[in-house]
Structure 1
Amino acid sequence: MSKTTSYVLFDNGVHKCIVFTSLVQGEGIQANQFLIINGAEDAIIDPGGDLTYTPLTMELFKYIRLENIKYVFGSHQDPDIITSMPRWLMHTKAQIVASKLWARFLPHLNSAFTSNKMEGEWFDRLIELPDEGMSLRLGNSELYSIPAHFLHSVGNFQFYDSISKVLFSGDLGASIVGNPEEPVKNMQAHLASMRGFHQRYMCSNKILRYWVDMVKDMDIEMIVPQHGAPFVGRETIDQFLDWLWDLPCGVDLMEKRVFRCPEPALMYG
């Protein structure tokens, strides 16, 4: 994989979308982080945890000033998504945008902002997304929080930028073998690499079909997951949607034999 840690997905001179890759050092799973710039306002999507905070901040300095960050979006509650939240609250004036289902859990990450006089500020800076999602203004643009519940979190959102026509899809479409800087080209090989993850982590085919029905008519030119390579162009995106439509996963595949009390461990004197 290239050592490049950031590249531009879209740039029309006013509006930019930037992907950050390969920032995780050590054993942590690699994840993509995203920056959207419109004029003098910026938004970060799925910034990650302590493993990515410092390298991501260093990369951000190439493009923006931290005081211009208006939103930090979290698609769901996983450690590689939002556990760096306390640092963004301490070092920026950004609002945190996340599902209402996680609003009362996030303070567990954030003792500094939930103690004494800072408690009120923390809740003032939290935007709780309803299950139906919502849109938020960023400069002269709109960012849409798109429902993707149970794919794989019970309160899960994706984020759609109507100017670049990019859907930031979180873990849906994720693969650890694809290069984030190179769009998927061999679709059949890529689908095979995604199958195991999607069949275990996504809830059910019923939910996948709800999602496909929602996005198939949206004006999307690129789907960019949190891990691995993006899907670029309608032909590739439609192949991905067709695959999801027929994919059994999650509770569809879980067997009763798994649900049993384990045998006693051997005891040694």
Structure 2
Amino acid sequence: MNIMTASELSGAKMDMGLPTPLYAADGHRIFWLGNTDETAFRCNTYLIVDRHEAIVVDPGSKQYFSQVKQRVAQIMPPEQVSGMVLCHQDPDVAASMTDWLAVNPSMQVFTTPRTQVLLPHYGRSDYRYYDVTEEPVYALPSGASLTFVEAPFLHFPGAFVTYDSLARYLFSGDIWAALDMDWELTVGSFEEHIEKMNLFHLDYMASNLAARGFVRRIEKLAIDAILPQHGSIIGPQHVTAALDYLRTLRCGTDIIYADMD
């Protein structure tokens, strides 16, 4: 498998039968795991491997657990996955949580308290919970770290994003998500991509106040790529435009209650 850097993300070629490597340096690797379903609401699951530790990011629905697990197995034994990041509790993000806990019961679950309250409704409450609001920086064996940044009301009160300090990748969950039948791994034209993001953001995100407030929290981070849970990866040439998109976005209550201005 060919490893690519952030500057090489655009135009990356995939073999849909294999995990797609996105980054590798100093014992630290990142993969796109899929899935292959032909739908506008395609879900992205990612895997961070750092020496002996591995964390699956937004593992996805139960429907695709077998496919995701198979792709992990092409990289490492699935039972060695040591953690999962759940940016919020929706089933397309988190429903396979119980399947992963069956693979490795000692796996840590990285999430917020508001999400944590709801996760046991998937059928398991006996797991190692890591509160990302109490400990927003998680050290990895290589010396890299994951920083968790809260993103309230985008679109869940307990939503958050995950920043990888070594790759400088931002795993953004539903933020910058897009709906697109003509899907590609990375964004080509950002201007054309805006319409695909609007299909998701105008209805799901709370307000411009929430969007702008979140941008203020992350705008000083050095971000080389944005990896959302739906749609295409936003490469380094489009990161500034992606931040500007949120700054000016009118969505949710801005639209529903527009006559209240």
Q: TM-score, normalised by structure 1?
A: 0.83
1:90 deviates by 1.6
Q: 1:29 to 1:188 in 2, by over 3 A?
A: closer
Partner of 1:104: 117
Is residue 2:140 matched to residue 1:138? yes
Partner of 1:166: 169
1:208 deviates by 0.7
Q: How many residues align?
A: 243
Partner of 2:5: none
Indicate if the aligned counterparts of 2:34 and 2:68 stay in contact, CA closer than 8 A: no
CA distance in 1, matches of 2:85, 2:54: 11
CA distance in 1, matches of 2:54, 2:75: 10
Indicate if the aligned counterparts of 1:23 and 1:52 stay in contact, CA closer than 8 A: no
Partner of 1:90: 102
Indicate if the aligned counterparts of 1:160 and 1:168 stay in contact, CA closer than 8 A: yes
Q: 1:169 to 1:133 in 2, by over 3 A?
A: farther
Which structure's relative contact order is higher, taking Cα pairs within 8 Å and 6+ residues apart? 2
**1:1-269 superposed matches below 5 A:** 4-5=16-17, 6-12=19-25, 14-24=27-37, 29-92=41-104, 93-110=106-123, 113-114=124-125, 122-123=126-127, 125-130=128-133, 134-140=136-142, 141-177=144-180, 179-181=183-185, 183-233=186-236, 235-255=237-257
1:22 deviates by 2.5
Indicate if the aligned counterparts of 2:35 and 2:67 stay in contact, CA closer than 8 A: no
CA distance in 2, matches of 1:159, 1:35: 12
**How much is the aligned-residue C-alpha RMSD, in angstroms?**
2.2
Amino acid at match of 2:54: D
The runs of 5 or more residues in structure 2 that have no matched partner are 1-12
Amino acid at match of 1:244: L
Percent identity between matched residues is 27
Amino acid at match of 1:82: A
Amino acid at match of 1:55: Q
1:127 deviates by 1.7
Amino acid at match of 2:138: L
Q: 1:238 to 1:16 in 2, by over 3 A?
A: same
Indicate if the aligned counterparts of 1:21 and 1:180 stay in contact, CA closer than 8 A: no
1:135 deviates by 1.4
Residue by residue over 1:201-234, the C-alpha shift from the partner in whole angstroms, topping out at 9 and shown as x without a partner, is: 111101111111122221110011111111111x
CA distance in 2, matches of 1:157, 1:231: 18
CA distance in 2, matches of 1:45, 1:159: 9
Q: 1:138 to 1:13 in 2, by over 3 A?
A: closer
Amino acid at match of 1:10: Y
Partner of 2:6: none
Q: 1:70 to 1:108 in 2, by over 3 A?
A: same
Q: Name the SS of the counterpart of 1:158 in structure 2.
A: strand
Amino acid at match of 2:28: H
Query: Is the radius of gyration larger for structure 1 or structure 2?
Result: 1
CA distance in 1, matches of 2:216, 2:40: 34
Q: TM-score, normalised by structure 2?
A: 0.86
CA distance in 1, matches of 2:173, 2:87: 6
